[in-house]
Structures are given as structure tokens and as C-alpha cells.
Amino acid sequence: MGGNQIGSSPMESTGRSRKRGKEEEGKGESKLEVTEIGIPSKEGLDKAEMYHVVKEIIGFILHMHQQIPSILQRLEDEFDNLRKERECLEETNLQPMNSKSSTQRMHKYRIREVKQRLRRLDKLMTSISNFLLSFSLVLDETPNAQEFILIIGASLARPLHAYEISFSCRRRNSKNCEQNIRRKVKETLSRKVIRTLMSMGAGGVSYTGPAKLFLLVKAPGTLNLPLHFFPKRDFRYSKKVIPLRLHIKCKAPVRITNDSDHAHSTCDLSSSDLIWYQCRHTIKGLPSTIPLPE
């Protein structure tokens, strides 16, 4: 008798389980584990440092998911070098050539090769540039923007992988005399973030073909960047996707100054004042030429 009073029937247990599941579903992704990284500074990150860290994450995600052929910095350098080489070759082509016909053929062949490689990269690099410009503008426009989502997939409705990045604080821009110190801080932090993402298993999946990278930003409802962002108020993940969550926080409370235009804390706006915005620009990956493992 006592055992029957203490225990519960399978039907009651299942009902409680479903109720608990619905409660957790209503709370969104709050139950997911968040990996925290401490900033090696007591003053938080300024706009330029946040931009650098997130750009490194974007490049890492694209490369690890085989959407770009090399790391982003190397790709940018290659693209710039190809453009310079094309200009040099075209200038040389306009000059009278007294060289052998075989040399002229090699010269023309090189021009065609450089142009082909530029055409292959041009659309990708333009999309990356627009993507990063939008991110930079939202940091300028909204000092309270501290939560970002990067999604790889065919569309937001069909995501393959999601990465949530949040910052606990932002600071005013660094003075010129601090630039060398701050450069070391952001480079150290970027390496730490990438190592953490690798340890979390980011990108450790088989190649599924070209996909798009989407950016979402949580910002006030007054955000006015219509050419770059549009509201996505009711955004929610597909239930099939478990995002990797990364929180970059200060090791000590940020020193808030009276300069309200440059110093901000996470308590400036309540969460109810912030909504999700989707970036109008996406980055579509290139078809990978890396053979899949058997």
C-alpha cells in the first residue's frame, strides 16, 4: 500500500515527462550548456576587438566546414595578390613586346589563369566583405549588441550547424597608446576562442556540400540599418539543431565611465527590449575539392 502511494503509474510518469519537455521547449535554448572564456583583461573588449574575434570565428567556421579552400586571412591575401598581379600583367600587355612568341603565349596564358581564379573568388570575397561590413556597422550603430548567432545551412529553416557567441561587456575604444597592448589581448583571445571551439567539436563532421553562412544579431528594436538587417523577432532554432554556445566574459567587472556613448554594460537594456535581426548578406561557400575520407 505504502509503495503504491509513493510510486507513480507509467502513465503519470509519462505525463510529467511530457509536461517537463514542453516547459523546457518553451524556455528556448536556455538549458543548453554554455562554454565560458575569460577575457585576459579587466576592461573588456572594445568594438575593434569584438570585430576581430568574431571575424576569426567566422573564418574558422567557414574553413572547418570546408566552405572556403583555406583560412580566411590567407584567402584575403591570395585575392589581393591576384588583383595586383592582374593589373601588372595587363599593364605589361599594353606595352610593345619584342620577346619570343612562346613568351607571349605564356604571358597570355598567365593572364587567363589569373582572371579565372579571380572570377572564382570574386563572388565569395564580395559576399564576405559585405557580411563583415554589416557586422561592423551594427557594432557602430548598437553599442549594446553583444549576442550573435552564426548558422551554416541551406536556409535558416534548414540549418546544419549553429554557433551562439555572446559577450558579457563592451568598453570604450582604446587610446592610441594602448593599441599595442590591446592587439596582444585580441590575438591571445582569438587563439583561445578557436582552441575552445575545436575542443567543443566545431566542424568535426563530414562535408555536406556548399552551404550558406547566416548572421543574426540581438539588438534594440530601434536598430536602423535597413540595407543590412531586418527584424527576425520570433526566430527559433529547428529542434534538430543543437547550437554550440560560447560566452566571452570579463574576469572582473568592467569600469563604467560617464561617457555614455562609449561605455556600456549588459544592464543598459533589458532582454525584452532586444530582438533578433537577420543580416541581409550571406556567405555562400565554394564547392570543396578536398576528397572525402572513405
In a domain, 24, yes or no: no
Confidence (pTM): 0.77
In a domain, 108, yes or no: no
Number of domains in the chain: 1
Predicted confidence at residue 175, as pLDDT, reads: 58
Domain assignment of residue 62, given as a range: 33-68+137-254+264-284
- Mean pLDDT over 142-159 rounds to 91
Cα–Cα distance measured from residue 294 to residue 143, given in angstroms and rounded to the nearest whole number: 48
Q: Is residue 147 a part of any domain in this protein? A: yes
Residue among 66, 19, 126 at smallest CA distance from 292: 66
In the numeric block, the cell 567557414 is attached to 62
Host H or E run for residue 111: helix 101-141
Q: Is the pLDDT of residue 115 over 80?
A: yes
- Calculate ∠ Cα 259-167-20, nearest 5°: 130
Tens-place pLDDT, residues 197-221: 999 888 767 777 899 999 999 999 9
AA identity, residue 105: R
What is the DSSP code (8-state) at residue 264?
A: B
**Residue 8 maps to a domain:** no
Rounded to the nearest angstrom, the gap between the alpha carbon of residue 269 and the centroid of all alpha carbons in its chain is 23
Domain membership flag for residue 16: no
- 6-10, 268-272, 286-290: range with lowest mean pLDDT: 6-10
Residue 148 lies in a domain: yes
Confidence at residue 278, expressed as pLDDT on a 0 to 100 scale? 97
CATH of the domain at 236: 3.30.900.20
Q: Is residue 157 part of a domain?
A: yes
Q: What pLDDT is attached to residue 78?
A: 94
pLDDT at 272: 61
Identify the residue with better confidence: 147 or 168.
147
The pLDDT assigned to 292 comes to 40
**Is residue 114 one of the residues assigned to a domain?**
no
